[in-house]
A and B are shown apart, each in its own frame.
Chain A
């Protein structure tokens, strides 16, 4: 009888999408909502959550911590920037760091985070570690939000093949009451509020079992207390950094300069092309409009307006075309990249051929 019952559920309880994905999605939704800049994942294991979070554009610093270096190393290279990240460096900066260490130890590298996630972590902690855990996370790291997820043991009878715990390494699995009382006590102690939720809905008729994974979202009640607290905190590093990837970003002068130079030359070339083809009186087809071509049409309209409004005009002199930097600067993309005209001049100095007074980009039209 009992066995039959279980077998029925073997087929029923299959989460879609799989439960781990639902947990990750939960974190991602939270990130979308609160837009934290610095996120740490404690017990990051094979870094799958980090790999998902690196696409969240609000995050500028991602850190992972795990007690097992090997499991992190297995796939850590997938956190490296991709070729395309170098081709088109993004506006935001992003650094991903992996640390090897225990959540029972304090390390200053974990300070200053906005969100700390502990997904399926606490049930792996031995009693002494679990005791130290709240002090490290809530007392020392003290981020604005902490997310803690852990199995809900009340759900276990519904899962096929679970004898005692869901994983041999689990040191305990709590029911809803146990988790909530621990969470509430911790929150009270460190001045946080906590809300309970979860992922993995129980089947109809079994609602009392609760979510398969129970989640507590802790929010710090007091505002970020600046340096006074920082100075009290120990500064001795105990974690070992196993991986660090700095993503190319336009915040880095090197990449910004590359991007600006490339954009300046590209823009100047288009203007030159327009200018020289105008000389040849061809391609002046008014019928040439299409839905596909909004950006280019905008471009020539825009150029026309500029020439009229600002009385700036590219000109040909001998074998050279001169395109005033002021025109180039007024193009939105260049403008957005540099911000100020002075910055533009500084970035392209020595890298782009300019006229003798430095006010225009100069091209030779020989051999065309």
Chain B
């Protein structure tokens, strides 16, 4: 046989569906897309497995296959940790960081503050005493490949294995122990072939083992399916609970997000209300209305801008796709190659497969690149705009105030109502006979009353402002009023500045100027008359003025913009952040046009300008000495998907009022961590320049960590920080604390006040019951909200040599939430995270490369 013939004779790659033992972790590298083949999403009929309840199951269990029969609980932990990046473990199970921190082995709870009675959205999962889950390995002789066939053959023996089972084709879970360790069963296939099935018990899993947790989640998803909830993304929605908002062509589905995890003392279900916003219009509708808005010329650009990156839901199956491109040269009459190799037009395909008549044959075709292989398809998928519904909100919609207000009525549920909605899910579960039967068969049940416990409300902070000190009303967590008339901590004089405006906005610019002159003296800001420059309302005109009139003495450039055109803003910011590093302030003329609010706005602008020039507004007491606080956040370009930006800020002084900043711009595929190392080094150098020594304590607040990325952080990023410190000098070993900050958490807390449920007051700390035993973690509710439920922020201390008590770490974190200068109140995250976020956002959205380091000691990105 020649080599070529041998290659041909090989079975197709997809031939074997079951990876051999030990093969699973070795992912085949993604094949380059040499075949520019378009696929139409497969009809549901052909889907193997599809969205069935076993899909997640399979994913979970394939991980363990390498261990085969010798699986032991110790090994399992290892395999969970070693999993590849592609399959994500959303709950970061198996990342045990607490064990390395001796000082929190005994206890990670703080003591200070007054007690507050809290309930949460967690529900205890209970199992009968001596409950265990039995794991079996199932072998077929002769070997059977198809999963369905394997299941069918096995389930012919329900009298042996029982009616309650979960099986992925190789691993079987049963609630009962079979009589013998090895059970042999005999079945016959439809071809009359006799098959010997060997069921071997491999494990008896206690209720808290990680495998069991994954198993609970799989079973719970099964229950949600039984309740007829529809899965969209990771959550489940009740299609009959639909709220239509016709004014904006929106529909809101009420649903639930849920997860079952091992918490401090119990395995619990965390359930929260989730809202899915769907749009009553198709992509084609959107294209039509865009066309009527922008006209023919800019139509294609407008479509690309508005649509690319959006998630669409196809009408004929329950699939979501991301629009990656629009193929204007194609239309529904175009053809594609089906999986069997034959050519077919879209029109014909949809008619044949779904009885759908495409009405507009001139529409372009949407292209979606699939990240993962789905079934036997790979590469781009073509979608017809008419058949795609839009989901979610665009940035444009988010900035539509009236739309968001109308939405908020339905999505921002106050505490009592939210808890009631969550209770409804539990009620469904409790009332449904089939669900109860399934639970009973597995020997599981829920506590239908949510968990209650006590939290602590730590003391409010005192705000210092140039010799003055004041308290704020803890109920509002805001000190805008208290600040009034008090000089700033450090005011930077504005001696030389430019005020640029268009002719139309001359009046507005003047009003602003007068107001600024009125509000600045009491803040202690000395402000001279600006250089007033009138420009044409064109980007080039603005840039020309900047090139000609900005001098090295210029303190700040102020632009009054007539529209929220992003290109103009971007051009100005780009020029003034890179080529000509001068702080800049852009304001929309519309913002300044209301006489009744102009003083408030001028005050805010004056504060912001001061910060951008290196001023300081207020401080809180920071008891630690020689401390450097670092904040990191990431921005991912969702539109082009090409760039990620990491913003990095580090405090420079004892009062933590001045910040050094850098950022890392990187294209896809690069490791973020290398860039962060460089930032860290420069930050240390700058700190030592400012303080004539090196910091003895460093706190890193790391935001922008996705679900399932904790492992990478612990194993790669933290060692890099340590390396960095080592490289400074052998005798230098500061105390380092790394804290992962997470805003998107499902946990909600409700304070039981006066018989009702209220939002917990700012400063509420939770570090028991709903935290995770394997972590040194806590929740803080730092901000207040006007309507809806306040979302706690989760802090996970993944590395800590500070030797500080949990109390002190919690207090420091809360203090830092007071230090964000764009808001005279407490915010959701420590200020360094918010600064890092602002920086990354500005660079990612407008500048696209690292700003000039001349600016790095000021908050120019506010």
A-B pairs with beta carbons under 8 Å apart, 14 shown: A55-B353, A83-B230, A83-B313, A83-B318, A86-B251, A87-B251, A163-B191, A164-B192, A168-B188, A168-B189, A261-B246, A285-B295, A292-B362, A293-B291
Q: Chain B, 281-304, contact with A by CB distance < 8 Å: what is the 0/1 string? A: 000000110011001100100000
The count of residues in chain A whose C-beta lies closer than 8 Å to any C-beta of chain B is 47
What is the interface of chain A mostly: helix, strand, loop, or mixed?
loop
Which residues from A are CB-within-8-Å of B253? 83
A35 proximal to B (CB < 8 A): no
Which residues from B are CB-within-8-Å of A55? 316, 353-356
A81 proximal to B (CB < 8 A): yes
Which residues from B are CB-within-8-Å of A70? 155
Question: Which of the candidate stretches A72-80, A142-150, A196-204, A209-217 sits at the interface with the other chain?
Answer: A72-80
Measured CB to CB, the nearest residue on chain B to A161 is: B191
Give residues of chain A (274-322) contacting chain B, Cβ–Cβ below 8 Å.
285, 288-293, 295-296
- Find out whether the CB atom of A168 lies under 8 angstroms from the CB atom of B192: yes
Q: Chain A, 152-170, contact with B by CB distance < 8 Å: what is the 0/1 string? A: 0000000001111011110
Please classify how large the interface on chain B is, using the bins under 10, 10 to 19, 20 to 34, 35 or more: 35 or more
- Find out whether the CB atom of B246 lies under 8 angstroms from the CB atom of A292: no
A296 partner, pick from B246, B249, B291, beta carbons under 8 A: B291
- Find out whether the CB atom of A56 lies under 8 angstroms from the CB atom of B355: yes
Which residues from B are CB-within-8-Å of A266? 246, 249
How far is B644's CA from A19's CA once the two chains are assembled, in angstroms? Answer: 50
Report if A288-B296 is in contact (Cβ < 8 Å); known contacts: A80-B228, A82-B317, A296-B288: yes
A37 proximal to B (CB < 8 A): no
Give residues of chain B (331-369) contacting chain A, Cβ–Cβ below 8 Å.
340, 353-356, 362-363
A16 proximal to B (CB < 8 A): yes
Report if A86-B242 is in contact (Cβ < 8 Å); known contacts: A78-B50, A162-B191: yes
A76 to chain B, nearest CB (A): 10
- Find out whether the CB atom of A16 lies under 8 angstroms from the CB atom of B340: yes
Report if A57-B230 is in contact (Cβ < 8 Å); known contacts: A84-B389, A87-B280: no
Which residues from B are CB-within-8-Å of A57? 355
A285 to chain B, nearest CB (A): 7
Give residues of chain B (51-101) contacting chain A, Cβ–Cβ below 8 Å.
52
Q: Which 5 A-B pairs have the closest CB atoms?
A: A262-B246, A84-B315, A167-B190, A265-B246, A55-B355
How far is B50's CA from A70's CA once the two chains are assembled, in angstroms? Answer: 18
B521 proximal to A (CB < 8 A): no
A259 to chain B, nearest CB (A): 9
Residue from B188, B247, B356 whose CB has the most chain A CB atoms within 10 Å: B247
What is the interface of chain B mostly: helix, strand, loop, or mixed?
mixed
- Find out whether the CB atom of A290 lies under 8 angstroms from the CB atom of B50: no
B163 to chain A, nearest CB (A): 9
A359 proximal to B (CB < 8 A): no
A33 to chain B, nearest CB (A): 14
How far is B649's CA from A15's CA once the two chains are assembled, in angstroms? Answer: 66
Which residues from A are CB-within-8-Å of B188? 168
How far is B279's CA from A266's CA once the two chains are assembled, in angstroms? Answer: 13
Measured CB to CB, the nearest residue on chain A to B300 is: A292
Which residues from A are CB-within-8-Å of B225? 77
How far is B315's CA from A48's CA once the two chains are assembled, in angstroms? Answer: 19
Report if A168-B190 is in contact (Cβ < 8 Å); known contacts: A78-B44, A262-B249, A262-B280: yes
Q: Chain A, 45-67, contact with B by CB distance < 8 Å: what is the 0/1 string? A: 00010011001110000000000
A88 proximal to B (CB < 8 A): yes
Measured CB to CB, the nearest residue on chain A to B315 is: A84
Which residues from A are CB-within-8-Å of B299? 290, 292
Give residues of chain A (28-51) contacting chain B, Cβ–Cβ below 8 Å.
48, 51
- Find out whether the CB atom of A87 lies under 8 angstroms from the CB atom of B295: no
How far is B230's CA from A77's CA once the two chains are assembled, in angstroms? Answer: 9
- Find out whether the CB atom of A258 lies under 8 angstroms from the CB atom of B288: no
How far is B748's CA from A196's CA once the two chains are assembled, in angstroms? Answer: 66
How far is B340's CA from A78's CA once the two chains are assembled, in angstroms? Answer: 24
Report if A292-B291 is in contact (Cβ < 8 Å); known contacts: A78-B50, A167-B190, A168-B190: yes
- Find out whether the CB atom of A75 lies under 8 angstroms from the CB atom of B52: yes
B244 proximal to A (CB < 8 A): yes
B782 proximal to A (CB < 8 A): no
How far is B350's CA from A57's CA once the two chains are assembled, in angstroms? Answer: 13
Which residues from A are CB-within-8-Å of B190? 166-169
Measured CB to CB, the nearest residue on chain B to A296 is: B292
A367 proximal to B (CB < 8 A): yes
Q: Chain B, 185-201, contact with A by CB distance < 8 Å: what is the 0/1 string? A: 00011111000000000
Measured CB to CB, the nearest residue on chain B to A160 is: B191
Report if A261-B244 is in contact (Cβ < 8 Å); known contacts: A82-B317, A84-B316, A86-B239: yes
Give residues of chain A (94-112) contacting chain B, Cβ–Cβ below 8 Å.
none
Residue from B52, B295, B340, B355 whose CB has the most chain A CB atoms within 10 Å: B355
Report if A262-B244 is in contact (Cβ < 8 Å); known contacts: A56-B355, A88-B315: yes
- Find out whether the CB atom of B247 lies under 8 angstroms from the CB atom of A80: no
A337 to chain B, nearest CB (A): 13
B1 proximal to A (CB < 8 A): no
A51 partner, pick from B45, B249, B278, beta carbons under 8 A: B45
B314 proximal to A (CB < 8 A): yes
Which residues from B are CB-within-8-Å of A264? 246
- Find out whether the CB atom of B355 lies under 8 angstroms from the CB atom of A83: no
B239 partner, pick from A78, A81, A262, A367, beta carbons under 8 A: A81
B591 proximal to A (CB < 8 A): no
Which residues from A are CB-within-8-Å of B232? 83
A39 to chain B, nearest CB (A): 14
Which residues from B are CB-within-8-Å of A166? 190
- Find out whether the CB atom of B45 lies under 8 angstroms from the CB atom of A265: no
